Each structure stands twice: as structure tokens, then as C-alpha cells.
Amino acid sequence: MVRPTALRPLRPVLRALRQPTPALKGSRSFQLSSHRSAEEKPQSFKNQLYESTQQRLKRERAEQERYAQYQTQSQGGRYAAMIFALVFFSTGAYYLGSLKPASLPTTSTSNVYDLDSPQHDISQSNLQAAWADFVEIIGKENVSTEHADLVAHAGSDWSSYTAKETEKPFLVLYPSSTEEVSRIMKVCHQRRIPVTPYSGGTSLEGHFAPTRGGVCVDFRRMDRILELHKGDLDVVVQPALGWEELNEHLADEGLFFPPDPGPGAMIGGMVGTGCSGTNAYRYGTMREWVLSLTVVLADGTVIKTRQRPRKSSAGYDLTRLFIGSEGTLGLVTEATLKLTVKPKSQSVAVASFPSIHSAAQCVTRVVEEGIPVAGVEILDDVQMKCINASGTTARQWHEAPTIFFKFTGTPSGVKEQIGLVQKIASAAKSKSFEFARGEDEMRSLWSARKEALWSVMAMRRGPEDHVWTTDVAVPMSRLPDIIEATKQDMTQSGLLAGICGHVGDGNFHAIILFNEAEKKTAEGVVHRMVKRAVEMEGTVTGEHGVGLIKRDYLEHEVGESTVDTMRRLKLALDPLRLLNCDKVVRVEPPKPGEIKEW
């Protein structure tokens, strides 16, 4: 391409060529006529040069026009591209910013009214897809969708909470190891599926009701003793091992695991509720007998809360945090338990009294004297009548308020304790006092206490009857007052209702029989019983746990801020609110009318 600057030396020549020469001026007509009449002759060099230069100039101008047009178009295109990029990246940045988690809370507590509803995914498609994941983890034979299994894992006849028809798990899982539980929780966390843990199923306050559906993790296959350290007096067990089976095994080693709740209870549930039992007065509750826990958290993370020494001041006490958490913070897959030496001698004594108040006063006196009895249990007259009527024991009993004492220690120590207690019972106007003179008599005398719940259930009038079993605890000095007031309230209600409990530490239970028409009456009895306990500086539950039934009473016992702190712990460890939903603390605001007026 010839640029304009290259043509500057030729411009004078071109101007000269454009001017007609004198020789040609007079011959213009001739040239034209000759051109028309004759064949075209070759152009002169001057004309060729002129035409060639003109063509180059045209091409140059065309090139300049195209270049200018390109420049204009390129600038516009670049500008448009820049605008597009700016809009695209701004939109992308805004989108990514919207995906960024909300800023961390700046308060130390979480009020339930500040929470949105949990975003679970219990759609059929999601649960069916999860089924395939679970089959891959634990095998098809350990994933159950059988109707009978689903119903059995939704509630029980002895639970205070009656599960709704819709409150059933989609399937039941039976893992066999911590690793399998971890993989299950990773699937549930990824798919946002609620999880309800299950071990013995003896809990009483709706602890394993699957209120949000989802899946149930049954630890039935995790029932082994993993390690026994006889010299260190501890044992490592899985959650589905029963406390009775554990003690049968330990007896051969001369060892003993003291907590003894109801028959059928398993270690996982005992940890979850922080249970107690008939030995609590002497040996304490479950909290005193757990050294360490292996826990699977909501996202599948596995932690061990501490090592095996009897004491440690290293960091936060996560072991105690999970005891009593009822599976709402994590799933316990192993527990390291403290043991003690089996007593060389033990015996039982039974004393009956003219009133429940005098029986309670006897207990208070025994505690004040510091007599180291192993257990102190009370059953009222209604409870003793139910035991006689049900025929659940091999003998007939005085149908009067009765105290069962358990003694352990050396033979001489046991004998001394029995003598001291007998004197106190006599001073409290006991109607009878008898003690066991051998193993058979001891089992016979103690059998009534263990049959309390089952004897009331045996009195049901039909399938429509339910049993409400609940407990409270108060300082020992207030025990006679609350038992007497509760007994009077039960009598006035007209319901079949009895009292029993581990009164050596101020804890007692109410067992109430009712049908649907009597439900409001039963609720009133329990409500007033709990309110009395709180007003006497007691607790809404001594050993059964909170579950669904007692959660709204917690604020009255410990205060709203304390419950909000518990909720913050729940959200910290289970932010998606997947684990044992709705137990202990609410995870979304209550609906109108759900909370009883205090």
C-alpha cells in the first residue's frame, strides 16, 4: 500500500501532467474523432503514470477510510467489552458475596425468637437417595424400612410423650462401629437429614420421638465390652451394652458398676440422660462414673473427650458437656467408665409407715445422721396396692407407704447400719421393719421396688390407657413437704397415681395412669408437681432428663439466659439442627398455645 507521504516528490509532476501542452491544444477534436473511428492505441507513458498514480491514491484513501472505520469500531467494541466485563464481574462479586455466611454473632446467647426454622430435606427423593448411601456404608441388611421397626422406634408405652402419627423415621440404621456412624452422619449432614439416636429405648420423656422424621440410628449392634482395665478400675464399652449385662461380666472379676436405673437401660441412654438409680445416694449419678467419651458430631467429625486418668484439669470438660445432652450435641459411640470393687456384703431392709410424710421424715433423719446406706427408695400406699394387685412379685406387701433400704460393706458394717436405721424408723412410727437374712430374701424384698412401673402398667383398663412417668428433685429438707403435697393432689385428681423414688438424694417419681379423656387432668398434676419443685429451689427432673416434656420448664428453673446459652452450645456443635431435634431446648419459636402458662 502506497502511503500519502511517499507521493509527495511526485506531486509537481502530476500537476504538470494535468495541464494540456501547446502541441495538443489545437488537435483535441482530431484526437477524439480519431479515437472513435480507429482501433484503440496503447496509452502513453505519461497517461499510464497518471492513471497508476490515481489508482494508488484511490486505494490509499480507501485504506485510510477502512482503517478509520476499524479504529472507530474497535474503540466502540473495546468500550462495550469493558462495560460487559464490569457488569459481569460486579454481578459475580455480588452473587459470591450473597453466598458468604452471615457474620458471626456478637452475643453470648441465642434466643429462640431470633431463629428461623431448620432447613431440613426430608423429601422422598432425598431420603431414597440417602438409602443407597447407607446401604453402601452398612449393608442392605442393616438398613430397615419395615413398618414394625419404624413404629417401634417412634415411641413406647411407658413414655410420657405420645408420638403423633406422622412422627416416624423414614428408615432405621444399625451401624456396628464409630467409623460407620461417622460416615452416616456425613451423609445426613450433606443431605440435611434429621437424625434420632436410639439405644435401649427405656427413656420416659419423649427422648427418642422422631419429631422431624428423617432417620433413626439404633446402636443395637454396638453392644460390646472393648477393653477392661482391672488394675485401673475402668472399662471401655459401646453404647448398646446394658448396665445389667456389664455387671454380670464384672462380677467374675470382683468389680462393680454402681449406676442402676430401670431394667433394660443401656450405657448410651444412661449417658444421654445423666441417669441415676437406686444406688445414687451412696455412689452418685452417672456423671460421677464416666471418665471419657468417643463422640461423633453432627458433621461426622469424631472426637474423644479425654484420656483415662481419674482426674484431669486439661481444658474444657467436654465429657460432662455430653452427659445429659440427650443426643442433641453428638452421638456417643464409646464410653470409658469408672468401676469400683464389688461390696463384700449387702442386705436389704423394708419398713412401712402410717403416712407418706412420716416415711419421708424417716429418710431425712437417716441422711442427717450420715448413715452410709447404699440406697433409700420410697413407694406410697397406691404403689404397694398396684404391686399386690398385679402379682408382679412373689409375696404380698403391706399396702402402706414403704421405704426400701439397701446396705453394702463388710458384714459387721452392714449389721451396724441395719441397727441404726431400725431405731430411726421406730422413732418415725414405722408399722413394720424386716431385713433380709440371705440372698433369696434380699432379692425378694428388693423386687417390689424394681416392679413399680410395670405394676402400674399392669393396671391399665384397656389399650386406650397411657402411663405418665416423671420425676423431680428438691433439697432434702423440703422432701417431706413436696411428697405430701403431691400425694394430696394425686388423690384429689381421682386418677390412679403412685409415688416412688430415690428419696435418699431428694428425688422422687410420679407414675400416673390416664386415658385420653383424663389427659388434661394428668397434665395438671404433673404441672403442679414440677412448679412446686422449682419453687422449693429444686429441679424439674432429677434423672429422667428433659426430652420434649420438660424443655419449657427449664427457663423457670435456671432462667431464660441460661437456656439461651444452652441453645448457643447446640447451634455451635449442630448448626443445621439435625441431632435429636426439639429435645432439651427448642430450635425454633413455639407455636401459639404450645407453652403452658406458669
Same domain as 589, residue 452: no
Q: How far is CA 256 from CA 27, 135, 373, 440, in A?
A: 143, 39, 17, 20
Residue 365 is predicted with a pLDDT of 93
Residue 46 is predicted with a pLDDT of 54
Domain residues for the domain of 500 are 345-549
Query: In this structure, are strands 375-379 and 496-501 parallel, antiparallel, or unpaired?
Result: antiparallel
Query: In this structure, are strands 340-341 and 507-514 parallel, antiparallel, or unpaired?
Result: unpaired
| Angle at alpha carbon of residue 593, lines to 588 and 596, rounded to 5° | 95
Inform me whether the pLDDT recorded for 364 exceeds 80.
yes
Q: How far is CA 133 from CA 177, 181, 190, 514, 591, in A?
A: 16, 13, 11, 43, 35
Same domain as 260, residue 164: yes
Average per-residue pLDDT for the chain: 87
Residue 103 counted as domain residue: no
Residue 366 is predicted with a pLDDT of 92
How many separate helices (H) and strands (E) can be counted in the chain? 20, 18
Residue 93 is predicted with a pLDDT of 63
C-alpha cell at 95: 452473587
Q: What's the pLDDT tens digit per position in 485-521?
A: 999 999 999 999 999 988 888 899 999 999 999 999 9
Q: Tell me the residue ranges of DSSP E strands in 261-367.
A: 290-296, 302-304, 331-338, 340-341, 345-352
Inform me whether the pLDDT recorded for 4 exceeds 70.
no
Identity of residue 326: E
Q: What's the pLDDT tens digit per position in 57-94?
A: 676 666 566 655 645 555 556 666 667 767 776 676 66
What distance, in Å, lies between the first and last C-alpha atoms of the chain? 99
pLDDT above 90 coverage of the chain, percent: 66
Residues 25-34 as b/e (b if ≥16 CB within 10 A, e otherwise) read eeeeeeeeee
Give the up-direction half-sphere exposure of residue 515: CA atoms within 13 A in the CB hemisphere: 8
Inform me whether the pLDDT recorded for 39 exceeds 50.
no
Q: How far is CA 149 from CA 134, 281, 314, in A?
A: 17, 38, 43
| Cα–Cα distance measured from residue 479 to residue 378, given in angstroms and rounded to the nearest whole number | 12
Inform me whether the pLDDT recorded for 565 exceeds 90.
yes
Same domain as 424, residue 335: no
Look at the block and give the residue holding cell 461426622. 300
| Cα–Cα distance measured from residue 526 to residue 486, given in angstroms and rounded to the nearest whole number | 9
* Domain count along the chain: 3
Q: What's the pLDDT tens digit per position in 530-554?
A: 999 999 999 999 999 999 999 999 9
Maximum separation of any 2 CA atoms in the chain, in Å: 165
Same domain as 474, residue 382: yes
The 3-state DSSP class for residue 378 equals strand
User: Of all helices (H) and strands (E), which one includes residue 532?
Assistant: helix 519-535
Fill in the DSSP letter of residue 569: H
Range 181-209 average pLDDT: 95
CB of 204 closer than 8 Å to CB of 160? yes
Same domain as 451, residue 555: no
Residue 96 counted as domain residue: no
Non-local CB neighbours of 590 within 8 Å, separated by 6+ positions: 112, 552
Q: What is the CATH number of the domain that holds 337?
A: 3.30.465.10
Same domain as 429, residue 415: yes
Q: What is the CATH number of the domain that holds 493?
A: 3.40.462.10
Same domain as 336, residue 356: no
The 3-state DSSP class for residue 473 equals strand
Residue 307 counted as domain residue: yes
Residue 91 counted as domain residue: no
Altogether, the residues listed in the chain come to a count of 598
Q: What's the pLDDT tens digit per position in 296-355?
A: 999 999 999 999 999 999 999 999 999 999 999 999 999 999 999 999 899 999 999 999
- 7 falls in which pLDDT band (50, 70, 90)? very low
Give the up-direction half-sphere exposure of residue 146: CA atoms within 13 A in the CB hemisphere: 9
CA gyration radius, the chain:
44
Residue in 479, 529, 482, 535 with CA at minimum distance from that of residue 504: 479
Residue in 221, 226, 173, 161 with CA at minimum distance from that of residue 197: 173
Q: Which of 59, 78, 97 is the last residue of a domain?
A: 78
Residue 42 is predicted with a pLDDT of 53
- 129 falls in which pLDDT band (50, 70, 90)? very high
| Cα–Cα distance measured from residue 35 to residue 68, given in angstroms and rounded to the nearest whole number | 42
pLDDT above 70 coverage of the chain, percent: 84
- 45 falls in which pLDDT band (50, 70, 90)? low
Same domain as 359, residue 334: no
Q: Which of 78, 98, 124 is the last residue of a domain?
A: 78
Same domain as 461, residue 444: yes
Same domain as 433, residue 446: yes
| Cα–Cα distance measured from residue 346 to residue 369, given in angstroms and rounded to the nearest whole number | 20
Residue 249 is predicted with a pLDDT of 97
Strand partners, 15: none
Residue 241 counted as domain residue: yes
Residue 290 counted as domain residue: yes
Q: What's the pLDDT tens digit per position in 258-289?
A: 998 888 899 999 999 999 888 888 999 999 99
| Cα–Cα distance measured from residue 406 to residue 155, given in angstroms and rounded to the nearest whole number | 33
The 3-state DSSP class for residue 408 equals strand
Inform me whether the pLDDT recorded for 31 exceeds 80.
no
| Cα–Cα distance measured from residue 264 to residue 201, given in angstroms and rounded to the nearest whole number | 8
The 3-state DSSP class for residue 441 equals helix
CB atoms within 10 A of CB 356: 24
Same domain as 386, residue 285: no
Residue 63 counted as domain residue: yes
User: Of all helices (H) and strands (E), which one includes residue 49?
Assistant: helix 45-99
Residue 104 counted as domain residue: no
Stated pTM of the model: 0.80
Residue 570 is predicted with a pLDDT of 97
Look at the block and give the residue holding cell 449417658. 271
Residue 94 is predicted with a pLDDT of 63
Same domain as 242, residue 212: yes
CB atoms within 10 A of CB 564: 18
Residue in 162, 261, 160, 268 with CA at minimum distance from that of residue 205: 160
| Cα–Cα distance measured from residue 324 to residue 540, given in angstroms and rounded to the nearest whole number | 14
Look at the block and give the residue holding cell 472393648. 226
